[in-house]
Chains A and B, each alone.
Chain A
Amino acid sequence: MLATLIRLVGDFELAEEGMQDAFSAALERWPRSGIPANRRAWLVNTGRNKAVDRLRRKIVLRGKLKLVGAEAAIGLQPGIPAEETAPEEVEDDRLRLIFTCCHPALAMEARVALTLRVVCGLPTLVIAKAFLVSEETMAQRLVRAKAKIRDAGIPYEVPPRAILNERLSGVLAVIYLVFTEGYAPTTGDTPTRPELCEEAIRLGRLLDQLLSGEVEVEGLLALTLLHAARLAGRSDGAGDLLLLEEQDRGLWDRDRIAEGVVLLKRALSRPAPPGPYAVQAAIAALHAEAKSFAETDWAQIAGLYQVLVRLQPSPVVDLNAAAALSMVDGPGRALELIDALAARGGLDGYYPLPAARADLLRKLGRADEARAAYAEAIALVRVDAERRLLERRLASL
């Protein structure tokens, strides 16, 4: 509904205020005069009228001539007919909203904040807590983002076919960022933030519903479901992180895994070739379906990482590919690859690199070097739970 109102009114803030006013009006009037046959149409049309009222009050108070033009423009918009609720129209508006909130002209943190606030409906305080900033900071971030949309003329549109895929990858990046912040938070002292994972999944489901048949939409949703399925096993009762090999697989959510696998199969059956999210989902599915760490199909995982390296070349992917390869070719070969990777630069300050070296050195029996590598990783890590895990690994040498 908000999505449609934004389209009719042409401004985020005004639309939100109008919608609140419409809800208040409904709570007041419907008990007396009965619930209208088409609630959505009533609310949207009332919301629009309330928005115009607010605009008029602003004109009176501040004499802003330019707002008179805005009022005329809103007046020109047809309201939505009382008789129909065209589902395609609702879906179009929701898609418009998602693409606008994730527009590349907005800074990434603004896209994330706006999407969580306006698409997911999370209160500003909840989003602030999730990203460990003050409510005031998050409120300001949202105000600036909406101002940029308005002042720079970011259109309220679903992007045209020609650039849709490129913009879609931007939307997926926002969803993925929300998920990973919940799965492996970059700040604070909780090992996971499941509520962020849930929002990311909710967003992924919405996008899949609105844009069906897209490989990477299905791939990302599958990936988030498969990872989220393992959340319960990721940390122990004391809030400490566990390695994959230490986790109690009995705690994993089998229903979610099943759902993720179904989605993955659907994604892989599409004519379009799988993208990075689908490949990562395939790797996650192999982990999720393995009975134990030892019985995992490492050869296939290593092979999938080679595909991922080609699709999404980056030093981080190279590091993960080397770690997977160590399970197939042994620690010596993987260590060579990782040392070569370290020499190329690009992963300076990234603690998983020395942490991976440490684990391989440990397997090779080179304990002193392993200790030095763990120490290097510990010096770089910023999240308490991750540091405690590394300290535990160091202590166990």
Chain B
Amino acid sequence: MQYLLMIYVNEATRWGDEALVNSMRDKYATFTRDIIQSGEFKGGDGLLPSSTATTVRVRNGKPLLTDGPFAETREQLAGYYLIEAPNLDAATAIAARIPDAEGGAIEVRPIRQLQQEEVRQFGRAS
């Protein structure tokens, strides 16, 4: 199964401390390399801060642009990983290793499956 791991952090505290930023960069490099080697990594990127976001809504055929993320929240989306994992426990174990899981939050969402993936989903549990 594929899962999208969405990384949420409080931007104000996360990006304020240069030492933290540097140590996090190293941790992410290690983590990303590890899951690439294991074959679990299918994609992923860091995002620029939510202040760079633009939200698009189309109403009555008219696109409306607003500055900023779709909603003001205490924590903001900072990055994502797309991973391959056999089940939710494996996916949450990977999510727990993401450096920002400590202090932030990682939302783990299953990707809507193509039919080939369904065979694996119904496959034998241990």
Given contacts A66-B115, A70-B118, A153-B110, contact A10 B123 (CB under 8 A): yes
A-B interface pairs (CB < 8 A), number: 61
Report B-chain residues with C-beta under 8 Å of the C-beta of A152. 88, 108, 110
- B89: interface (CB < 8 Å): yes
Contact B115 A153 (CB under 8 A): no
Contact B113 A66 (CB under 8 A): yes
Report B-chain residues with C-beta under 8 Å of the C-beta of A65. 115
Contact A105 B88 (CB under 8 A): yes
- A154: interface (CB < 8 Å): yes
Contact B119 A153 (CB under 8 A): no
Q: How far, in angstroms, from A7 to B86 measured CA to CA in the complex?
A: 16
Report A-chain residues with C-beta under 8 Å of the C-beta of B121. 10, 153
Chain B residues 77-126 with CB under 8 Å of chain A are 85-89, 91-92, 108, 110, 113, 115-116, 118-119, 121-126
Binding site for B on A (CB under 8 A): 7, 10-11, 65-70, 72-74, 76-77, 96, 105, 151-157, 159
Report B-chain residues with C-beta under 8 Å of the C-beta of A74. 122
Q: Which of B110, B118, B122, B126 has the most CB of A within 10 A?
A: B122
Contact B118 A155 (CB under 8 A): no
Contact A69 B115 (CB under 8 A): yes
- B6: interface (CB < 8 Å): no
- B24: interface (CB < 8 Å): no
Q: How far, in angstroms, from A68 to B1 measured CA to CA in the complex?
A: 17
Contact A69 B118 (CB under 8 A): yes
Report A-chain residues with C-beta under 8 Å of the C-beta of B122. 10-11, 69-70, 73-74
Report A-chain residues with C-beta under 8 Å of the C-beta of B113. 66
Q: How far, in angstroms, from A156 to B115 measured CA to CA in the complex?
A: 21
Contact A7 B125 (CB under 8 A): yes
Which 9 pairs show the lowest CB-CB distances between chains A and B?
A69-B119, A155-B87, A66-B118, A156-B125, A69-B118, A73-B122, A10-B122, A70-B122, A153-B87
- What are 10 A-to-B residue pairs whose CB atoms are below 8 Å? A7-B125, A73-B123, A74-B122, A96-B125, A105-B92, A152-B108, A153-B86, A153-B88, A155-B125, A157-B125
Contact B125 A10 (CB under 8 A): yes
Report B-chain residues with C-beta under 8 Å of the C-beta of A151. 110
Report B-chain residues with C-beta under 8 Å of the C-beta of A105. 88, 92
Q: Which of A11, A67, A69, A96 has the most CB of B within 10 A?
A: A69
Contact A72 B119 (CB under 8 A): yes
Contact A157 B119 (CB under 8 A): no
**Shortest distance in angstroms between B106's beta carbon and chain A's nearest beta carbon?**
13
Chain B residues 46-96 with CB under 8 Å of chain A are 85-89, 91-92
